[in-house]
Structure 1
Amino acid sequence: MSEKNKVLILDFGGQYSQLIARRVRENKVYCEIKPYDISPQEIEDFNPKAIILSGGPASVYKEGAPDCNNIIFSGKWPVLGICYGMQLMVHKLKGKVQRAESREYGVMDLKILQEQSKLLKDISSPTKVLMSHSDFIPIPPANFKVTATSKNTPTAAIESDEKQLYGIQFHPEVVHSECGKTVIKNFLFEIAGILPDWNMDSFIEETVKNISKQIGNKKAVCGLSGGVDSAVAALLVHKAIGDNLTCIFVDHGLLRLNEAEEVMEAFEGKLGLNVIKVDAGEHFLSRLKGVIDPERKRKIIGNEFINIFEKEAAKYGEGEFLVQGTLYPDIVESGTKTATTIKTHHNVGGLPEDMTFKLCEPLKELFKDEVREVGRKLGLPEHLVNRQPFPGPGMAIRVMGEVNEDRLNLLRKADAIVRKEIKAYDKENKVWQYFAVLPGSYSVGVMGDDRTYQQVVAVRAVGSEDGMTASWSHLPYEVLDKISQRIVNEVDGVNRVVYDITSKPPGTIEWE
């Protein structure tokens, strides 16, 4: 990555801010998301080639609305304002923003007015775009030209080529906007003149250097779960510090059927990694006894992980650093300055305040598909690269309510059937994640001419690129029928199977 080809994204609290970063990176351009109130010096230090302002739920004319430094609109950098970002640009440059009589939410027709528009170049008119706003711009700032309109928005896109300032009322980062990818490409390449020079090879090289600088000759331990995130994090750190890394696999008793054995088979003595297994199932279950609230589950598990790591690290050279496979979606969902907490990820918000480790999180700016690409380049076998995502708290957050061995065993058996049948059907790996859930509800049934009152199992299967959004998978009825029949016939205590058809949002991938 060239230091001259970076994009700075300022986050004003929009629900799609992380998708802007995804779209930029898809074009092999490096970017980072920073808070909206970043200082001028921090902007200079980052040295962006261009700046993008995200959307957000606030109104620019209200007291306390998110604001940014005026230097952003000085003409020093090309700036693209999206939704709230556009309205803020207009507001600060003496245009007018006000409440709309008719709000726009959903997919709308965008009519392009200017053939010479740099931002909307090569886009046919009209085109479908996603709108999500209750304010509009009746009067743009001086020396801006209006380049597009919609039914209820007279100023849907504006440009000032002289000041390198561009604004759009719609969201180009979502798939619903037909022209979205073209808009982002036009901004990056036609307007900002950025070179697409960021790739996973350069990421690996730079990250290994940073790890070497951070850890030096000290020791580190890695919480190896067997998933792709922790495996890739471990390989990157091992590449930087070699045998000074010890990987600790904690069997917390919340894993899938036969998973502990499979993880050790995959990693022990392989890939150059030193892997130690710790059996802690009884300990975790004792700490979870009587706990129902999912946030408490996550935090208890996060705390106990660290406690175990600290004890184990003392046996292997006083590990000073804890390596984690934290990804960017984990940080976003756990809550940031401009993002609401959706759920606390055990490796983010679940860490104890008195932890003695220093964290090393080499993947925290990446999305899942990027991590898989890094894994391939580091030589991780394909079956591990494409391994099903599995949450750190394990089945504790797939068993609704209290977690105990009986309920875990029931779910393990049902889950194994779900995974086997969908894997047999999904030869092209189109289903991103699939598993069983134990909701904790019971239903009346008839089995062998007798009345039953037994547990319900839910099946979850979704498609996704990055884990931030997901669509429920339209599995064939034949597959669902086979899963249902097998679970009811083979898993004692279950008499009903249901299929979760909720996408993310509004749901999350996990139930807790």
Structure 2
Amino acid sequence: MQHRPSDWIIILDYGSQYTQLIARRIRELNIYCEIHPFNKELSAFADQPPKGIIMSGGPSSVNDEGAPGLNSGLFEWDVPILGICYGLQILAHNKIPGCVEQADHREFGRSELIVDDATDLFRNIPQESVVWMSHGDHIKKLPREYEIIAHTDNARVAAVRHREQQIFGVQFHPEVVHTVYGQQILENFAYEICHLEGTWTARSFIESTVKEIREKVGDHRVLCGLSGGVDSTVVATLVHQAIGDQLQCIFVDNGLLRKNEFRDVLDIYEEELNLPVRGIDATDRFLAELRGVIDPEQKRKIIGNIFINVFDDAIAGDNDFKFLAQGTLYPDVIESISFKGPSATIKSHHNVGGLPEEMNLALVEPVRELFKDEVRNVGRELGIPDHFIKRHPFPGPGLGIRILSDVTKEKLALLREVDDIFIGELRKQDLYDDVWQALAVLLPVQSVGVMGDERTYEFTAGLRAVTSVDGMTADWAHLPHPFLAHVSNRIINEVRGINRVVYDVSSKPPSTIEWE
């Protein structure tokens, strides 16, 4: 579903690792934005063109053969443009081919920006401030249409402005936190230059989405697959508010849930959220299909297919059902199929890349363009209890992708106990809300241990906790050592079959939050 308001900004992706951060920063200003590839057919937006354009950075040099080019059609919109890093260089290169060349002194990391003109883009920006540079090329000759409005010691052209049009370019990255006044620069562009008002809020999103769901669904019924997580729950609540009893929720026990989760979450759905929900135990069906499967991508596709089959069976013979509602998020889509630019596909998600090619139900995905924290804000606005909103993310494939080998009932039983101890201790010691996500994995490694003067040869459990805002980037959580020692001791003593516990200290990137 598309929730594009009249005032919005388009971000043209040239493959930068920071492109999603640009979107995050713009949305923090209560302004809607979308990421699209640099070569997107602009006629797709003819009915509702953006009020501003941001061109991202990218890993290429404008002088490389086959380097991403400039879509000159964007100038026909006659709206403000901001080029960032590669975005700036391609603007200059478009006017004077060859004006961009490899710099004698590359700039990677922090640099001091010296503002030469603070009248618009750099309004309220100090004369000298720290910015984040990441470039090997520089502009040797500036096209006469542009003037320099900021520089650094190593970059004569650190920011430019078109002399007649509302076109700007910066060599640094205002979207990263290391650029101290980066958010102010983006705010200046959006508010002062594009003249946007910042009216895109959780409430406005709900109002427009409820209306769109009603228009799309009409008199038909909608099936919503609940996972027990925040995303699908927010979707179900949104759809329920839009169409009431036309909604039927299904909560499937796929045998891959955490300890007691099926019954506990089902109670919340029925008693606290008053959702029309039906619980289905399909454990044997899932585990039978997963038997002997090790590859995580294959697991996702199997799980995605079985979910759809279970849903189809649940409504067999009822022709009123025409739609399936899902809690697909923006990061799911970006990581699964990279549909909005030249960035690499990381992994498929069971509800995106894992869906079968042919389905009997049309999809309704009202939060598909939202980040995790935005979904939580929508949930709070909908009145979903905070204790549910604050639940850590849990993948749709569940423990199936936290067992880094073939999935068996015995391994699931081990991992459930490990997970229960880890999460339980985080809650008990008031650390649960300090991390964005915590999880346990069962490694395909057995090692020698000593217990009660006897040799053991048992599995290794991995613990992971991260801090993040939206899941696109994350740092490993620096949990207190005494806490980790206590959790490890409990797991080894209480979970027969585990004799070693390790803690994951890698960040995203380069790692992902989930191990598979």
- TM interval, short-chain normalised: over 0.9
User: How many angstroms apart in 1 are the aligned matches of 2:380 and 2:318?
Assistant: 29
- Residue identity (%): 51
8 A Cα contact 1:38 1:68, kept in partner: no
User: How many angstroms apart in 2 are the aligned matches of 1:491 and 1:269?
Assistant: 33
Residue matched to 2:328: 326
User: How many angstroms apart in 2 are the aligned matches of 1:388 and 1:92?
Assistant: 46
Superimposed CA distance per residue, residues 184-203 of structure 1 (whole angstroms, 9 cap, x where no aligned partner): 11111122221111111110
Of 352, 357, 360, 1:356 maps to 360
Residue matched to 2:450: 446
User: How many angstroms apart in 1 are the aligned matches of 2:333 and 2:77?
Assistant: 32
TM-score (norm 1): 0.96
5+ unaligned residues in a row in structure 1: which ranges?
A: none
How many angstroms does 1:388 deviate by? 1.6
Superimposed CA distance per residue, residues 409-465 of structure 1 (whole angstroms, 9 cap, x where no aligned partner): 001001101001112233582211111111111222221122222211111000111
Tell me whether 1:481 sits opposite 2:462 in the alignment: no
Residue matched to 1:244: 246
How many angstroms does 1:472 deviate by? 0.7
Residue matched to 1:97: 100
Residue 429 of structure 1 aligns to a residue in which SS? Answer: helix
User: How many angstroms apart in 1 are the aligned matches of 2:315 and 2:106?
Assistant: 57
Residue 314 of structure 1 aligns to a residue in which SS? Answer: coil
Tell me whether 1:503 sits opposite 2:507 in the alignment: yes
Residue matched to 1:392: 396
Residue matched to 2:299: 297
8 A Cα contact 1:74 1:163, kept in partner: no
What amino acid maps onto 1:485 in structure 2? N
User: How many angstroms apart in 2 are the aligned matches of 1:126 and 1:223?
Assistant: 53
How many angstroms does 1:271 deviate by? 2.8
Residue matched to 1:14: 16
Residue 333 of structure 2 aligns to a residue in which SS? Answer: helix
Of 187-196 and 68-77, more deviation after overlay is shown by 68-77
Superimposed CA distance per residue, residues 92-119 of structure 1 (whole angstroms, 9 cap, x where no aligned partner): 12261122344333x2213224143522
* CA shift in 2, pair 1:276/1:219, >3 Å: same
User: How many angstroms apart in 2 are the aligned matches of 1:292 and 1:219?
Assistant: 37
How many angstroms does 1:235 deviate by? 0.9
What amino acid maps onto 2:103 in structure 1? A
Tell me whether 1:195 sits opposite 2:197 in the alignment: yes
User: How many angstroms apart in 2 are the aligned matches of 1:433 and 1:469?
Assistant: 12
Of 44-53 and 411-420, more deviation after overlay is shown by 44-53
Residue matched to 1:28: 30
How many angstroms does 1:211 deviate by? 0.8
Of 405, 408, 413, 2:409 maps to 405
* CA shift in 2, pair 1:308/1:203, >3 Å: same
Residue matched to 2:386: 382
8 A Cα contact 2:418 2:491, kept in partner: yes
Of 369, 373, 391, 1:369 maps to 373
Aligned length: 511
* CA shift in 2, pair 1:382/1:145, >3 Å: same
What amino acid maps onto 1:281 in structure 2? T
* CA shift in 2, pair 1:491/1:9, >3 Å: same
8 A Cα contact 1:225 1:263, kept in partner: no
8 A Cα contact 2:27 2:33, kept in partner: yes
What amino acid maps onto 1:118 in structure 2? D
5+ unaligned residues in a row in structure 2: which ranges?
A: none
Of 483-492 and 188-197, more deviation after overlay is shown by 188-197
Query: Which residues in structure 2 correspond to 1:76-87 (within 5 Å)?
Result: 76-87=78-89
Residue matched to 1:122: 124
Of 92-101 and 448-457, more deviation after overlay is shown by 92-101
Residue 372 of structure 1 aligns to a residue in which SS? Answer: helix
8 A Cα contact 2:269 2:277, kept in partner: yes
Residue 302 of structure 1 aligns to a residue in which SS? Answer: helix
Residue matched to 1:261: 263
User: How many angstroms apart in 2 are the aligned matches of 1:165 and 1:69?
Assistant: 15
Residue matched to 1:185: 187
* CA shift in 2, pair 1:223/1:431, >3 Å: same
